[in-house]
Amino acid sequence: MYDALVVGAGPAGATAAFLLARSGISTVILDKSVLPRKKICGGLITAHCSAEIKRLFGVEIPEEVHVEPPILTEWVIPPSGRENGFHNPSSRIQNIDRGRFDYWLTRMAVAEGATLLCSTELVDIRENHDALVARFRGENGIVKFRVSHLIGADGVYSTCRRRLYGGSQSTISVVQEYYAERGTFEDAFYLLFRGDISPIYAYVVPKDGCTVLGLGVHRSLGPPATVAFSRFRKWLSEEYDYEAGGFIRREGWSIPFGDVAYGEGRVLLIGDAGGFCEPFTGEGIYFGIESAKAAVTAILSKEDASGSVADLYRRVADPIGEKVREITDYVLTLTDEERERRIQEKRAKLVEQSKVLAAA
């Protein structure tokens, strides 16, 4: 019998397994794929996220998980266009391959003592007196685990979540197109906001010699993906003289959109499984790590608290969940006028900070 079972070896699951194992909790982490596996993602790590990873794991993100160029600055472009945008040259966004990144985090958990099982998929969960019994389908048939706690970190279409609540959570689709044509873009993450292209965001990012164009699509807000990309490419042609040539591939995935759930009883939901994703920019890794920390805190503190471990987790993680819900509500009512205002305020603040640093 293990003390904790973590379903899913993404950033949230690997972080939870690492922290539990480091605290002396016998932990097994399961993933339905063989690691390392291909993971479709924008693959960007913000500076505050990389700082938190270094604090938790004690090491820098290794070069092996980076793609070229490994470090990006940031451009933010408002609806009125490039001329009114701003560049933040001090930002350090790490450009990564998600498959290699996730595998690195999982190896860190294993090095702390967690057991890793791949090609193992959840079938069902049931309560059994003072423990849980979880059944999984592995390469050799059905496997049963009796555990004290289960952490569902199995993504936006989480089986753990469906077993608890049924149905599926609210999502946004993110679509990316890869082009061989590099254009004149800098080594930067371009974040572009214009409501008739995407009600969420659009972006440009260089990856291993390609130019990646991406945008968020909401089924009841804004245009469908084909129309959105046509407008996006036209805008890039007008603003950057960029002609998207040498089409390579299109890929898409879904991210949570404000539908936060914490779990029940001995089952906790973290990362995308729990809906912990920032919908304004699509940042999920940082929120996944924060939810993993909260889940581990709840498990380690359970003996000193009343109620279920899920009740305690809900109290610990609710500030994260509340932030996600607030941003989601904001995005749903956002206008181009408000996008413009917010970006100009940030631009003015950055200019003022630059003046202060230059005078120092």
**Would you say residue 151 has pLDDT above 70?**
yes
Binning pLDDT at 50, 70 and 90, where does residue 17 land?
very high
**Would you say residue 313 has pLDDT above 90?**
yes
pLDDT of 227-239, one tens digit each?
999 999 999 999 9
Q: What mean pLDDT, rounded, does the chain reach?
A: 93
CA distance 263 to 308: 10
End-to-end CA distance of the chain, in Å?
A: 60
Judge whether 176 and 159 are in contact, CB under 8 Å.
Answer: no
**Would you say residue 221 has pLDDT above 90?**
no
CATH class of the domain at 2-67+96-171+255-332: alpha beta
**Would you say residue 129 has pLDDT above 90?**
no
Q: In what order do the strands lie in the sheet with 86-96?
A: 44-45, 86-96, 66-77, 188-192, 202-207, 210-217, 171-179, 247-256
How many percent of the chain have pLDDT more than 90?
82
For CATH 3.30.9, list the domain ranges present in the chain. 172-254+338-359
| DSSP string across 11-41 | HHHHHHHHHHHHTT--EEEE-SSPSS----S
One-letter amino acid at 216 equals: G
For CATH 3.50.50.60, list the domain ranges present in the chain. 2-67+96-171+255-332
| Average confidence (pLDDT) over 124-134 | 87
**Would you say residue 305 has pLDDT above 80?**
no
**Would you say residue 33 has pLDDT above 70?**
yes
- Structural Rg of the chain based on CA atoms: 21
Q: Which residues contact 38 (CB under 8 A, 6 or more apart)?
A: 99
CA distance 337 to 200: 14
Question: Does residue 279 have a cis bond before it (omega within 30 degrees)?
Answer: no
CATH fold for domain 172-254+338-359: D-Amino Acid Oxidase; Chain A, domain 2 (3.30.9)
pLDDT of 156-199, one tens digit each?
999 999 999 998 899 999 999 999 998 999 999 999 999 999 98
**Would you say residue 109 has pLDDT above 80?**
yes
Strand duo 141-152 + 267-269: pairing: parallel
Q: Which residue has the higher pLDDT, 88 or 139?
A: 88
Q: Is 233 exposed, middle or buried (0-12, 13-18, 19+ CB in 10 A)?
A: middle
pLDDT at 263: 97
- Alpha carbon 133 to its chain's center: 29
Q: In this predicted structure, which of 59-63, 197-201, 267-271 has the lowest mean pLDDT?
A: 197-201
Instruction: Write the Ramachandran bin of 126: left for phi over 0, alpha for psi from -120 to 50, otherwise beta.
Output: beta
